[in-house]
Amino acid sequence: MNRKAILSGIIVLMIFFTACGGVWSDTNGETQTGNMEGQTENRTETQSHTTESAGGIEQTQEETSSETEAVPQPEVTEIVISAVGDVMLGTNQKTAYSRSFHEYYDKYGEDYFFQNVKGVFEEDDFTIVNLEGTLTDSDNIRTTKQWNHKGKPEYVDILVNASVEAVTLGNNHIMDYQQEGVNDTIQTVKDAGLAYGLSGDWGHALGIYEVKGIKIGFVSVNEYYDGDRVYQWLEDGLEDLKSQGADIVIAAMHWGGDKVHELEENQYIMGKWCIDRGFDLVLGCHPHVLQGIEKYNGKYIVYSMGNFCYGGSKNPAEKESMIFQIKFSFAEGVMQEETEAKIIPCRLSSVTNQNDYCPVILEGEEAQKVIAQMNGYSEEFGVVIDEEGNIN
């Protein structure tokens, strides 16, 4: 075969392979033919389908996220309450003017006394104190007793200017200047815009205060004088306050032994009774010193908060005090079970060698000393207060 014939054969074979679209072998060695362009199109369609599917997932996730965000969350309202013990704005009938509460008022004015604690009271929603004594100009015959407490009516501005919202009057000094002294005190705090509570032979009034749409009610009784009679007043007061729409109801108890840290039997019984009947918090006064804190059925019983701003003595033997603070939470107007509570260690005087009637918040070792004392008083109830004052 000559060279021209061979060349012609090669050209014919090349034309044949081109027309067939190519030849390849699979992994089994079998020869397969196909359209590469078609396979490319198939792969492109598959990739396109995957992309669309992925896009669909992303869109579903976005829609789900949007739906989750769109679900309205319950509106939560938090109410912070601060409570302190005996506040005696004035003196007793045996106190000389020198270094007395009256002298400090005349020298420094109404804003002096609560200057160190006002910030705490301004930041909370409700501050309640036990007003231990009368605010009256009456010089009528005093009730026959060892100590009769009285302050000038204008002293009420000490409380108002310090962001105090409420006073309890159910104590053993509200009647120190007979019915006239009681009436004058009630009228004075009422005119000042303070909520007040009192139950007993000298008058009946239930305290109620509204903040952030939440109503706080309280019943104030003097168990120290009135004994078991206060049970009925507490029960009636609770029912009445609930009928007025009170969301938080407090039992303010004047009870216990004078200047003793140990509890009396009636305090154990009555405190738990209050919680069982439906009170949300029990606040105790009268012993003039600190006593323990109990958490019973999820509610707090503060047995005694001690003296706070106390004009009844120029130099009390025990000056330790505290602010008890508790936070209630409401979701859509419904009180939640969990509360947060703490103590803020204080001393009733800014100096240690006498009473200057100017409570101060303690820090460092002094604060830890008060916390340690409160842990000791509360040990029988299993309550533990940490270094920050939080009650566990």
Helices (H), the chain: 3-20, 36-70, 101-108, 118-123, 156-161, 178-191, 223-226, 230-243, 265-277, 364-378
For residue 318, pLDDT beyond 50: yes
Which residue's structure tokens are 């006498």? 354
Instruction: Name the least confident of 39-48, 58-67, 168-177, 317-326.
Output: 39-48
For residue 127, pLDDT beyond 70: yes
The two structure tokens encoding residue 271: 């405190």
The confidence score (pLDDT) of residue 68 equals 53
For residue range 78-124, what is the model confidence (pLDDT) as tens digits? 999 999 999 999 999 999 999 999 999 999 999 999 999 999 999 99
What CA–CA distance (Å, rounded) separates 132 from 168? 8
For residue 9, pLDDT beyond 90: no
CB 287 within 8 A of CB 304: yes
For residue range 206-244, what is the model confidence (pLDDT) as tens digits? 999 999 999 999 999 999 999 999 999 999 999 999 999
* Residue 331 identity (one-letter amino acid): A
233 Cβ contact list (under 8 Å, min separation 6): 199, 200, 204, 219, 221, 226
Average pLDDT, integer, range 45-71: 45
Distances (CA, A) of 201 to 144, 207, 233, 251: 16, 17, 11, 18
- What's the whole-model pTM score? 0.82
CB 281 within 8 A of CB 263: no
